Amino acid sequence: MKLLVVRDRRIDYDGSAIRSHWAYRNFGILGNSIVVFRGKCDVKVEEMIDIEDLRANKEIKSDDMVHYIIEIFDFPNTLLASTLQKLFIAKLCEVLHTWGVETLRKGDDIYVDDKKLSISIATVSPVSMKIHIGVNVKAEGVPKGVEAIGLKELGIDDVEDFMEKTGRAFQEEFLKVKKDSMKVRWAE
């Protein structure tokens, strides 16, 4: 699992990065990867993956987020993708706890004081599993009716440090899962 934290520029997320081989096309990273970057979020209707959100005509947007694009080429299926998504969300909650932030995980979303901190989706292509996680930096530009909170409101001002630590935490968690899956024998 390769990790890239993009620090030299902002990249806006419109949903198209959920397509397979995005990291390879844009950064030359071939294989399992995590790309972490900061930018706006405004998911276009044609890029929406969650059919429930699409049917409800929901907007997915924020003026400033940390984004994680995760691509895994091992055994692509939606159940495994959704399971890994929730594992990464739980890991993110653990890392936030080290900053003194008390979180509540509801499925694949993170809440702090009943305010939404994150968005997330997991899906598959014929060749890979794709996960997007977005964490609000500031609770600005979110859809009407969404009570949101951001890292800045939580006292996390060094966003690049947050990007690095959380990216490494995801990478380490995945590599541990992968190693653990290879060290066991069959049950007879």
58 pLDDT higher than 90: no
Q: Has residue 137 been placed in a domain?
A: yes
Residues 55-91 as b/e (b if ≥16 CB within 10 A, e otherwise) read eeeeebbbbbbbbbbbbbeeebeeeebbebbbebbeb
Q: Has residue 187 been placed in a domain?
A: no
57 pLDDT higher than 90: no
In Å, how far are 62, 95, 103, 154 from 100, measured between CA atoms?
24, 9, 10, 9
Q: Has residue 186 been placed in a domain?
A: no
- Rounded mean pLDDT of 16-45? 96
Amino acid 55: pLDDT: 86
Amino acid 182: pLDDT: 93
Write out pLDDT tens, residues 83-132: 999 999 999 999 999 999 999 999 899 999 999 999 999 999 999 999 99
- Provide the strand spans (E) within the chain: 2-5, 33-42, 61-72, 104-106, 109-112, 115-116, 118-124, 129-136
Q: Has residue 184 been placed in a domain?
A: no
Greatest pairwise CA separation for the chain in angstroms = 55
Q: In this predicted structure, which of 12-21, 43-52, 131-140 has the lowest mean pLDDT?
A: 43-52
Structural domain including 69 reads: 2-179
Q: Report the C-alpha gap between 112 and 71 in whole angstroms.
A: 27
45 pLDDT higher than 90: no
Amino acid 46: pLDDT: 84
Amino acid 56: pLDDT: 85
Write out pLDDT tens, residues 121-158: 999 999 999 999 999 999 999 999 999 999 999 999 99
Q: Has residue 35 been placed in a domain?
A: yes
Q: Residue 133 pairs with which residues in a beta bridge?
A: 68, 120
- Two tokens, residue 168: 């490494």
Structural domains counted in the chain: 1
Q: Report the C-alpha gap between 19 and 15 in whole angstroms.
A: 8
Q: Has residue 87 been placed in a domain?
A: yes
- Two tokens, residue 121: 């989706």
Q: Collapsing DSSP states into helix, strand and coil, what is residue 2?
A: strand
Q: Has residue 185 been placed in a domain?
A: no
Q: Has residue 20 been placed in a domain?
A: yes
CATH number of the domain enclosing 110? 3.30.930.10
Write out pLDDT tens, residues 160-188: 999 999 999 999 999 999 999 999 999 98
The answer to whether the beta carbons of residues 36 and 4 sit under 8 Å apart is yes
pLDDT tier, 24 (very low <50, low <70, confident <90, very high otherwise): very high
**Residue 23: in which H helix or E strand, if any?**
helix 22-27
